[in-house]
């Protein structure tokens, strides 16, 4: 549980900068210390830099909310994209709904192992609402 708190406090910038493209190592650490996910498949979204997407590099933090993904796709001055995948139970390392109080209401972040992604697609901008509806 402390690792999840550490992710919440440092996951947006410090951990990814330190681990660079080896961020799945953090997912490995979480998987070792948390109970296995036993829920269903989940459609997840991730907003990120388009260059990283084209290079096939994905982070470990994904969300069930396409609006939040859209916000993250616009965080930097570079062009961003929102990608979508169906996360299978083996891909999911931790789900925020299980750890009450972990995130802002509605965000519903999942930590996945991006090395296990089988397929994903880019969400067209027309499918991404501009406002959070909670």
Q: CA 74, CA 49: separation in Å to the nearest integer?
A: 8
Per the rule left: phi > 0, alpha: psi between -120 and 50, beta: everything else, 3 is alpha
Q: State the pLDDT confidence band at 121, using cuts at 50, 70 and 90.
A: very high
Residue in the block written with tokens 């991006």: 114
Is pLDDT larger for residue 55 or for residue 14? Answer: 55
Q: State the pLDDT confidence band at 128, using cuts at 50, 70 and 90.
A: confident
Residue 87's pLDDT is 96
Q: CA 5, CA 3: separation in Å to the nearest integer?
A: 5
The winner for highest mean pLDDT among 8-17, 27-36, 52-61 is: 52-61
Q: CA 61, CA 114: separation in Å to the nearest integer?
A: 9
- Whether 134 has a pLDDT exceeding 50, the answer reads no
pTM of the model: 0.78
pLDDT tens for each residue of 47-94: 998 998 999 988 888 999 999 899 888 887 788 999 999 999 999 988
Domain ranges in the chain are 2-127
Q: What is the mean pLDDT of residues 17-40?
A: 75
């Amino acid at each position: 549980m402390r690792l999840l708190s550490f992710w919440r406090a440092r996951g947006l910038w410090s951990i990814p900068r330190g681990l660079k493209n080896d961020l799945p190592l953090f997912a490995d650490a979480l998987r070792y210390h948390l109970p296995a996910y036993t829920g269903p498949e989940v459609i997840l979204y991730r907003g990120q830099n388009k260059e990283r997407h084209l290079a096939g590099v994905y982070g470990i933090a994904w969300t069930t909310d396409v609006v939040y993904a859209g916000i993250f796709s616009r965080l930097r001055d570079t062009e961003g994209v929102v990608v979508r995948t169906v996360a299978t139970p083996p891909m999911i390392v931790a789900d925020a709904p299980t750890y009450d109080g972990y995130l802002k209401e509605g965000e519903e972040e999942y930590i996945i192992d991006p090395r296990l992604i089988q397929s994903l697609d880019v969400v067209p901008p027309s499918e991404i609402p501009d406002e959070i509806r909670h």
